[in-house]
Structure 1
Amino acid sequence: MVNAAAAQQLGRQVALREDDIAACLDPVRNVAGRQSFGGPAPRLVTGRIGEQQAELAKQRSAIAATVQRVADAQDLLRQRVQTLISSESAVTSVLEA
């Protein structure tokens, strides 16, 4: 059937083997053969997943570091405010005496 359709379209006889035709029409083989960047080939998709997992880990680490810096800054601010309050209380008590 495919050979007849090819002959009709090309205007000459074509000798396509049945297993070659079946291979071309096999969806799993077709997907696996798409090796371009962003293509659906399992090997490429698996590699891309690994790259994205590494990037995600890097971003999580950066976020954790930022959260820690903010927490440290909040602690330092509380300490400095407490120091100012204590200093102000000491000055007020000296002035009142």
Structure 2
Amino acid sequence: MVILDYDDHMKPSSEEIQETQVMETVSKTEFKAKALELFRGIEQTGESKIITDHGKPTLEIRKLLQDKPDPLTLLRGTVVKFETPHDPVGENDWDLA
């Protein structure tokens, strides 16, 4: 079952429609009985599933894709001012608590 809902000015060409991935549909009843199995399948294959309620699509379950940023990228731009990084630290530079 392929579900396409487009505005008239955004309709894809017939070639684009053929390239659209067909997602498997699963009824809520079947999902309830096989949820863990379906979750594992989605995690392994990455293929989405459409959950239907009385034949109408209501939910889409898909694998979460998260980009893990490089730790150095996260730190980029966080140093506000760093003058003379090679100068030794003097005793007067330390705050005594």
**Structure with the larger RCO, 1 or 2 (CA within 8 Å, 6+ apart):** 2
Give yes or no for TM over 0.5: no
Greater CA radius of gyration, 1 or 2? 1
Normalising by structure 1, we get a TM-score of: 0.24
**Larger fraction in helix:** 1
Q: TM-score, normalised by structure 2?
A: 0.24
